[in-house]
Structure 1
């Protein structure tokens, strides 16, 4: 072939193009240089959420975050499904690295069996999975570290693909924090525990397991029920059964929320724990019977401002989700399955079941600027019953039940811009008696008659604008400082009591989660303590997309054949019932010619019906297979046909142009 000819030049050009394509593919795909791409997937599989990007923007450039990504690459031991997952995770980590603008250092290590990198994986507390009799382990996980702070994702399973962005963003946020986040806790029950009183020969009470668990990751601060101010350094305020809360404490919570604080509240229409465990309990300091803890808790003023209706005298009874009690299945002791939980929210997406005891419910009214999201609810086979009647069901069975036909909301998330529940300003603090003490004894407590502030000149517009946001007399903030306010509400406080959320492992003797109650609260705290950004980190869609159109067409075919099959199946069942009386228990036929003849006819009918069913199923399967083959063929041929069509069009256009010259 003459290289100077047109054919020779075209061949050289084609070879050069192929070489360039291979080189670019190697540099971009193999070495990750540039790594530019457009995310054209329906669910944005390769695009980070705004919440993640804000977390990365706040990273300190002087304290970069190092991600050591461990993945076994040896084909001999690494299953194909995990190799595919490893590629997806690496793509996501590259997106994190790019969005961080140099604040994240990504290291990829290959801990293949019997290598130094496998030793490094073990040092980083990664979890290996044994895959053969030789004891070879495979690794797929990461260690995320900044200075001395380290978080580990020990092993990434295919089931965790959808929550991968959330898990990585959470870990990055935790290691980048210089000190522990502060969580405030308010409760009418002694959930924080009590000290030991040796003179009474009585040990103190341990904190609830949920408090012990929170102290592992956070600084937990006890907030008195009568508080008049919530410290600004508290990231999230946790209320567990705020029974008999006074207005000044509600006001403190309200103003904390207005200033950007996050609130989680567990209220209860009838707390069995408050009534049976803590009421009339002996005081360890005096040895005398203690007081009574009101079993009912409410946040009357706050709920009204948030658009929440909550009946504190009624509990949810559900015959579909009822659990077990002393008298058998109890419709007020609820066992919510996974279907009752919102699988679209990161807080509840991976939870399996919840256990609630005499829980209440919420109704939501549309409130300007506030978005309400249901986290979990009852089934439609439920109704609201009086709390006193519900208490009887602990011992007796339910005899009269009429389902309401709609589900009851028991877990709720409110987000957006909140307005104060106290537009008139700070409520007056009730005067305490000398015996009990109170605000009168507190020199820092606000006085009921504060001197009025001088009225600003009406001609000054700035003062009028300020009056829209603040109460001039006492500084009450009228609305939240931003639109990122978050409140999470649960209509049961008992669900966090030890007996309802943990159990003892029979093998190790350690306390482990008995259900998803404890993970629910830990997820909520974790999401809110992240400043709201983690709440916006969605559960990513899976890269394993179902063939929805194929399933839809298959269902259409089966729907067309279903009536025929059902009619024949019913006829077959009738035939079998008629044959039954004609047989003896030992399988012998009754020696009656009429019955023998009738039985033979029924057998022939049975064989004929079975033949018709087989033929219909064959036709059904044939049509399904044809439909699937057509879809596969179209998917395989569309792109080549499109390329050929473009090629033919360009060839015709070139020939026309050449002919014109």
Structure 2
């Protein structure tokens, strides 16, 4: 009995929860939810086809599932009691209205949370396929549970206002739909058309969808959590007001409740900024220690002005969401800077002074389809009249947001930048491009180095290296004289740091020998220097690796084939203990060489990047010939020798590689330990291997090649503040199991496919030769006609076999996809249904058992 329990609220909750399972209602609801949620994720969300180990397609449909399923649960909370006339009876028991309302709500919410918890097999599925960010998944589950609770509280209040469950259901669907849409641009534009901006912001602040999506990023922001808690409390309070007949001035009380709710939500948005728990694996939404250290180093105030065309962005929800993220980051950085960083947000209205200033300061004016322009950029300035812009804040670069802003702040801090001396025989620098008939801006790597460091280029034949140089960067050092090599040797012995990119076959080698390259030769090394530093490198051998080989298409409309010398290396191929490669996920190398620790060396050799255990070596003589096809390289390949080091950090005491030399200032032993990084590839620096051109002159990275270079330069030059930001750039989480199946299938069917392609080409050649014998088949003899027919039939059969081979190539992946769909959409709901059925039969049997 409710009256004898110590907790009336829990007693009501237990009674209501048991009532759900006393009928098939709970079972039907849970099975329906499990089936629909999984089906939407797989078929509409493309959970498997995306190839990403996350549950974003699953949670994206939760608001719309809840829009109909939650009111189905909430409509009976009070409408049924009202219709049966039991509300007054319930309230006459030793239970307050609050206890009754809260108890019923907790029972319904428990049913919803149980339904959500039973979707864990989907979480297990993506964990089996790849390596998801479990913190993001957990936060999304929390957000989904809070969203369901908020919608149930709305349904509770509307159910209390009517005797009809149907009316309660429809009213709840409409109310929840409106509360989800309040943050949408169309609604915002309509509100801003007649109300002040403060009112529009207040309306946007009560959007269910906005707060839910913020949580699914993997961040439990106290403002978002508090919003849902306050929403639940406010609507349950409204339920109490509606149910209690003793309340007077009910409308005034409800209005006061609504205003109080909006006021508290608004204040929490201002006062609780930065109070959040970042559950992402790499703390992607938390200011890194490097950024905090940078902010604390600001001596003179720096001002960041965010120009964002608020009204013009109404039709671009993705841009608006990104703008909110940018605004939040800037304000958080300002709060951590101890007044060193000032932030201003400006809406450059058309034909205003703000618009003119935005253009004058270098921001990109994006033309809109309906006319006018749109601005979304940042201008930073310091007290010495230094001014730098970020012309346009691309939503696609959100993963780089903290780095981009920190880089801007770093550039405005008045201090000397590290000096990097660069010697390169590759066409990295800006120069006149005869093919384009215009100036080239150079490689992206070179552009970024010029922005971040004091970059000084060494000319061919250099014999000295300035003492101001913090880091010597060597890229494809071909044809160095002994004097140049000696200068490098002495620089390293004096404690200078070295970053060297050598290559057994540089595909981007400059053809002009005037820049230092040796005509006709595409390999490079450092002569005796690498040996003196404890590194072995053979410039006549390249690494081939089937496990990491990328697929290429050698002819138009032809199949893709794995090229053993073009490597796409994942996180498992990189050292996660070194700041240069930690947390990076993708590196693309081409015709890369192998490095090894030299026997008896006194230096420490640490592998940064390595091939797989199944790799091998191929001679460079195979390259640059017509026979250097993916198929021929595969035939020549022999695995052996285990994993090869492709990039390494070398440190420790060294001796001179030129012991025979002497003179003033000559060093035979190092004053301090050598600090160097050696990479056995130069092609990774070229744009095609890691960036795509994007509108507005931006470069969109698809691999971490640039991060490898920047991290190495920053680390070796002593400027490590931005390393942590760089290593958080790329966030793909592929289905490793699916990729492994695809690689195995490609290796199994490659030779068969090549044989069929060769047979098809031979048949086409024979058919062409036969037809050239006369003008057509009608003039051929009977034997020749039969031969022609046989060739045509065999050609059709070969084409059929090729199509079948392509189908079988993906058969295992398709079978896996089908199996996972069946398990999550059919098997799991049926298993739950069977469990409910067995539990029901067990309860029925207990009831029929005669009392003893």
Q: CA deviation at 1:617?
A: 7.5
Which deviations, in whole Å up to 9, do the C-alpha atoms of 1:408-466 show, x marking residues without a partner? Answer: 76863638xx31322xx684354xxxxxxxx8xxxx7547xxxxxxxxxxxxxxxxxxx
Tell me, in whole angstroms, the C-alpha distance in 2 between the residues paired with 1:446 and 1:616: 70
Change (3 A) 1:76 1:158: closer
Which residue matches 2:331?
94
Which one of 435, 451, 465 corresponds to residue 230 of structure 1? 465
Which one of 373, 391, 402 corresponds to residue 165 of structure 1? 402
CA contact (8 A) 1:382 1:404 kept: yes
Q: CA deviation at 1:239?
A: 0.7
Which residue matches 1:489?
679
Which residue matches 1:321?
550
Change (3 A) 1:182 1:626: farther
Q: CA deviation at 1:95?
A: 3.0
Q: How does 1:376-387 map to 2 (within 5 A)?
A: 383-387=616-620
CA contact (8 A) 1:150 1:175 kept: yes
Tell me, in whole angstroms, the C-alpha distance in 1 between the residues paired with 2:326 and 2:402: 9
Which residue matches 2:825?
621
Tell me, in whole angstroms, the C-alpha distance in 1 between the residues paired with 2:832 and 2:488: 60
Which one of 342, 345, 348 corresponds to residue 105 of structure 1? 342
CA contact (8 A) 1:66 1:144 kept: yes
CA contact (8 A) 2:494 2:672 kept: no
The count of aligned residue pairs is 480
Partner secondary structure for residue 404 of structure 1: coil
Which residue matches 1:470?
none
Which deviations, in whole Å up to 9, do the C-alpha atoms of 1:507-526 show, x marking residues without a partner? Answer: 99x99999989967874687
Q: CA deviation at 1:314?
A: 0.4
Which residue matches 2:27?
none
Which deviations, in whole Å up to 9, do the C-alpha atoms of 1:369-409 show, x marking residues without a partner? Answer: 776433xx768885311223335456787263235289976
Which residue matches 2:632?
398
Partner secondary structure for residue 491 of structure 1: coil
- If the length of structure 1 is used for normalisation, what is the TM-score? 0.54
Tell me, in whole angstroms, the C-alpha distance in 2 between the residues paired with 1:270 and 1:512: 26
Which residue matches 2:672?
478
Change (3 A) 1:373 1:106: farther
Which residue matches 2:770?
none
Change (3 A) 1:497 1:208: farther
CA contact (8 A) 1:111 1:117 kept: yes
Q: CA deviation at 1:264?
A: 2.7
Partner secondary structure for residue 100 of structure 1: coil
Which residue matches 2:379?
143
Which residue matches 1:531?
719
Which residue matches 2:161?
none
Q: Does 1:65 pair with 2:302? A: yes
Which residue matches 1:576?
none
Which residue matches 1:54?
293
Partner secondary structure for residue 156 of structure 1: coil
Tell me the C-alpha RMSD between the 2 structures: 6.1
Q: Where does the alignment leave 5 or more consecutive residues of structure 2 unmatched?
A: 1-95, 97-236, 238-252, 433-438, 739-817, 834-852
Q: CA deviation at 1:165?
A: 1.4
Change (3 A) 1:540 1:243: closer
Q: CA deviation at 1:267?
A: 0.7
Tell me, in whole angstroms, the C-alpha distance in 2 between the residues paired with 1:45 and 1:499: 27
Partner secondary structure for residue 336 of structure 2: helix
Partner secondary structure for residue 315 of structure 1: strand
CA contact (8 A) 1:185 1:237 kept: yes
Q: CA deviation at 1:26?
A: 4.2
Q: CA deviation at 1:224?
A: 6.1
Which residue matches 1:456?
none
Which deviations, in whole Å up to 9, do the C-alpha atoms of 1:103-153 show, x marking residues without a partner? Answer: 21211223356655444433333335555x422544433222334433332
Q: CA deviation at 1:269?
A: 2.1
Q: CA deviation at 1:163?
A: 1.5
Structure holding more helix per residue: 2
Which residue matches 1:125?
362
CA contact (8 A) 1:503 1:514 kept: yes
Which residue matches 2:659?
428
CA contact (8 A) 2:304 2:342 kept: yes
Partner secondary structure for residue 51 of structure 1: helix
Tell me, in whole angstroms, the C-alpha distance in 2 between the residues paired with 1:241 and 1:296: 8
Partner secondary structure for residue 537 of structure 1: helix
Greater CA drift, 32-41 or 173-182: 32-41
Partner secondary structure for residue 107 of structure 1: strand
Tell me, in whole angstroms, the C-alpha distance in 1 between the residues paired with 2:266 and 2:279: 22
Change (3 A) 1:134 1:236: same
Change (3 A) 1:338 1:499: closer
Which deviations, in whole Å up to 9, do the C-alpha atoms of 1:280-326 show, x marking residues without a partner? Answer: x899xxxxxx9878654324666457665432220234674376789
Tell me, in whole angstroms, the C-alpha distance in 2 between the residues paired with 1:476 and 1:294: 33
Which residue matches 1:436?
none
Change (3 A) 1:252 1:28: farther
Q: CA deviation at 1:361?
A: 2.9
CA contact (8 A) 1:214 1:220 kept: no
CA contact (8 A) 1:143 1:151 kept: yes
Q: Where does the alignment leave 5 or more consecutive residues of structure 1 unmatched?
A: 1-6, 8-13, 196-205, 284-289, 431-438, 448-472, 556-613, 630-661
Tell me, in whole angstroms, the C-alpha distance in 2 between the residues paired with 1:245 and 1:282: 11
Change (3 A) 1:36 1:545: farther
Which deviations, in whole Å up to 9, do the C-alpha atoms of 1:596-644 show, x marking residues without a partner? Answer: xxxxxxxxxxxxxxxxxx9998885255568999xxxxxxxxxxxxxxx
Q: Does 1:362 pair with 2:600? A: no
Change (3 A) 1:294 1:136: closer
Tell me, in whole angstroms, the C-alpha distance in 2 between the residues paired with 1:154 and 1:294: 42
CA contact (8 A) 1:165 1:540 kept: no
Partner secondary structure for residue 348 of structure 2: coil
Which residue matches 2:423?
186
